[in-house]
Structure 1
Amino acid sequence: MNAPDDTAEQIAALLDGIVRRQRRVSKQDLDVTHGQLRVLRTLDHADRALRLSELANQLGIVPRSATSVVDDLEAAGLVARKPDPDDRRATLVALTPAGIKLLSTIRRQRRDAMVSLIERLSPTDQTDLLRLLTRLSSD
């Protein structure tokens, strides 16, 4: 019988492998890094333009790092900067239509990859997996 620590390590390794596979599939043929994808998702979840400082804070990175990532995303046409109407010293960052489209493509690819994985399971096993993961992820 496995010790709880061994079981925890095995589960962590398996989940990590699934997440890596999802990332690899979702970025296939797309020229974005994991950090850039985090920025795009953060902007998408905000549902509004964010100040660079807000974006950095939400990502847990220093503002200079956020600026570098935003520079690259802006050059790729995925985000746009605009002056903050409430503070002329601040800059807002928002997704462009191309950024929104890219996120949609990535979500579709991730969903399709997950469908191909869970199709290996019976409908009952899929329901059980969803229930167990939901239970583990709840705070």
Structure 2
Amino acid sequence: MRGSSRSDIVRLPHNEPNARPGGSIPAVHPHHDDRPAAELDLGDLVIRLARDLRRRGMVAFEPYDLAPHHVRALRTVAHEGTMRLGELAQHLRVAPRSVTDVVDALEDRGLLRRSPDPTDRRAQVVAVTDEGAALLDEVGAARRAAAETSFGRLSDRDRAILRRILERLDAAD
């Protein structure tokens, strides 16, 4: 691929339906679309809002020195309960070796605890520590406050309508 640097490549697992020989595709570098909302189609509008929410969430995570993937892993274990690393990888839809790095970082900070699986000593399970649960509460509050800058403009009625629409669309998948 001429003109592409390694930073312009996104690796796909070999079994992804859109994977090409060599397992990579050029990265997409989306630019902010600053057209007025009335000129955007619905999909573009949703994408723009999602990007804005993601950016605000990342800013909200900065004081905690957590990346979004760390927060997702911590939230998943907190919600699902103690689980094997392979199960966590499946929930996060990442390779098991990737989840090991995330768990290592969270364990080093005392947010997750790794221990032998009581039913299979060859496997390990992870659980959220009290410190991890407390931090997750703080991060959740910061994320909600960041999202409020977008959703705070909506009335309670509009929020309820938006929630119903989003839940219906989400359930269709």
Q: How does 1:68-87 map to 2 (within 5 A)?
A: 68-87=101-120
Give, in whole Å, the separation in 2 of the partners of 1:60 and 1:77.
24
Residue by residue over 1:32-84, the C-alpha shift from the partner in whole angstroms, topping out at 9 and shown as x without a partner, is 1122112111101212x111121122222222111111111111111111111
Runs of 4+ in 1 over 6 A off after TM superposition: none
Q: 1:63 to 1:10 in 2, by over 3 A?
A: closer
Contact 2:58 2:68 in 1 (8 A): no
Secondary structure of the corresponding residue to residue 48 of structure 2: helix
The structure 1 residue matched to 2:98, chosen from 65, 70, 73, is 65
Task: State whether residues 76 and 88 of structure 2, in contact with CA within 8 Å, keep that contact through their aligned partners in structure 1.
Answer: yes
Q: Gaps (5+ residues) in structure 1?
A: 1-5
In structure 2, list runs of 5 or more residues that go unmatched. Answer: 1-39
Q: What is the rounded CA distance, in whole Å, between the counterparts of 1:46 and 1:74 in structure 2?
A: 17
State the SS of the aligned residue for 2:126: strand
TM-score (norm 2): 0.67
Aligned partner of 1:106 in structure 2 is 139
Question: Percent identity, aligned pairs only?
Answer: 40
Q: Which structure's relative contact order is higher, taking Cα pairs within 8 Å and 6+ residues apart?
A: 1
Which range moved further: 126-135 or 30-39?
126-135
TM-score of the superposition, structure 1-length normalised? 0.81
Q: Which amino acid aligns with 2:106?
A: L
Count of equivalent residues: 133
